[in-house]
Amino acid sequence: MRSKAIAVSILFALSAPAVAADAAAQKLAQDAVIVDTHIDAPGGLTDHWAELGKDALKFEFDYPKARKGGLDVAFMSIYTSAKQDDDGSAWQVANEMIDAVEALAARNPDKFALLRSPKDVERLRQGGRVLLPLGMENGAPIGDDLSQVQFFFDRGVRYITLAHSAANRIADSSYGVERKWHGLSPFGKKVVAEMNRLGIMVDVSHISDESARDTIAASRAPVIASHSAFRHFTPDFERNISDELAKAVAEKGGVVQIPFGIAFVNPKSAADTQAHFRAIDELNKRNEALKAAGKPLESKDAFDEAWAKAHPAPPTKIDAVLDQIDYAVKLIGVDHVGIGSDFDGVGGELPDGLRTVADFPNLVAGLQARGYKDEDIRKILGGNLLRVWTAVEAAAR
């Protein structure tokens, strides 16, 4: 996966999608309010500047693609890594990404608008604007200072993924071999309470099962999984949500947002991803021993490059995502399912027919072909997430 796991080249398949969008699907995609809770464009902007108000070839999200696909609300992921948490740079990196999103909207006021509340969606999207709320992926920038939750709320963050690829001061990671807290930390419980107070959605994607259980129990507002597929399809891959936890999210009134990345929806790729994090853990242990012995360290970049070559993403069709949605609807109900693509965050490892934000009509066509009513498709595309966000705001008030 991208800078989060394995850096790979962005590849766009030439094959036709398994389900091509007809006029009815195109019309519904343009008319419905589509909300994608996880797009990693800010990381790309800080790595390689681009004008996303125009067609940006290296990005899966930009304004022309978004309008072609009918995307209205694109949560910009403010992602920081475990390494940045360790070296103390997470707060700085997060603010730089927020600055990049604000600058993008300021340069293109006719194309983008910052979004702070679901009540402003209809007003701000008039004229074809794409709305940009912020989701913080990894609570590392908060550090151990509870006042930073308010700080980032004031900067526009409206959900926080409590941890990412390693335990932090808040919670354990699903990827971590060793568990630091076996749930939420004492500080993490204060963070969840503060998020409830302010009206920030609490996100249980990426965190361990123990941490997710604690979080769902501790939150007095509905919680979300911003980009989690179902573990039913990928046994032993804790990064994807279990049936038990998905039901708990739904019972709390929340929503599970389905990602598109092959690493989440393809069993072989999920197993490779899990193995990669285990291998990285072993590499880190070897480097600790080498450092203690005063010997040269193994290169993580070289390791990742070799791993990517040895574990290419398997061919995957859009059906893998549609199967996830089918399973979710049967398990927890159509009112608790949404989409969190992870575009620009998985190194181009995406299914045929879902390569960029321009491809949402293909997803609509696939759902229509499987017999979903338009009103239920609207819920999945964004209505459910907006309902949950509204409920989180109401709980704060």
What's the CA gap between 349 and 12, in Å, rounded?
A: 9
Token match 């072989």: residue? 268
In this structure, is residue 15 part of a structural domain? no
List the one residue out of 238, 253, 239 whose CA is nearest residue 201.
Answer: 253
In sequence order, which ranges of the chain are alpha helices (DSSP H)?
Answer: 23-31, 41-47, 63-69, 82-87, 90-107, 121-124, 147-154, 186-198, 209-218, 243-251, 262-265, 267-292, 300-310, 319-332, 360-369, 374-378, 384-396
Higher pLDDT, 1 or 54: 54
Spatial neighbors of 292 by CB under 8 A, at least 6 apart, are none
Q: pLDDT at position 278, please?
A: 85
What's the domain count of the chain? 1
Residue type at position 237: F
Tell me what percent of the residues of the chain surpass a pLDDT of 90.
Answer: 84
Residue 7 has pLDDT above 70, yes or no: no
In this structure, is residue 308 part of a structural domain? no
DSSP summary character for residue 48: S
Q: pLDDT at position 312, please?
A: 87
pTM of the predicted protein model: 0.93
Is residue 31 within 8 Å of 23, Cβ to Cβ? no
Q: pLDDT at position 17, please?
A: 56
In this structure, is residue 286 part of a structural domain? no
In this structure, is residue 3 part of a structural domain? no
Residue 20 has pLDDT above 80, yes or no: no
What's the CA gap between 239 and 121, in Å, rounded?
A: 31
Structural domain boundaries, residue 109:
23-268+315-396
In this structure, is residue 281 part of a structural domain? no
297-349 pLDDT per residue, tens: 999 889 888 988 988 889 999 999 999 999 999 999 999 999 999 999 999 99
What's the CA gap between 311 and 309, in Å, rounded?
A: 6
Tell me what the mean pLDDT of segment 138-159 comes to. Answer: 98
Q: pLDDT at position 239, please?
A: 97
Rounded to a whole number of angstroms, the distance between the first and last alpha carbons of the chain is 39
Higher pLDDT, 145 or 7: 145
Under the banding of pLDDT at 50, 70 and 90, the label for residue 18 is low
- Domain of residue 320, CATH code: 3.20.20.140
Q: pLDDT at position 308, please?
A: 85
350-372 pLDDT per residue, tens: 999 999 999 999 999 999 999 99
Q: pLDDT at position 4, please?
A: 46
Q: pLDDT at position 385, please?
A: 98
Q: pLDDT at position 14, please?
A: 36
In this structure, is residue 328 part of a structural domain? yes
In this structure, is residue 276 part of a structural domain? no
193-217 pLDDT per residue, tens: 999 999 999 999 999 999 999 999 9
In this structure, is residue 125 part of a structural domain? yes
Residue 113 has pLDDT above 50, yes or no: yes
The values of phi and psi at residue 192, to 5°, are: -60, -45
Q: pLDDT at position 290, please?
A: 87
List the one residue out of 377, 92, 345, 86 whose CA is nearest residue 226.
Answer: 345
Helix (H, G, I), strand (E, B) or coil at 380: helix
What's the CA gap between 210 and 241, in Å, rounded?
A: 12
Is residue 63 within 8 Å of 367, Cβ to Cβ? no
The lowest-confidence range among 23-27, 48-52, 139-143, 204-208 is: 48-52
pLDDT averaged over the chain?
Answer: 93
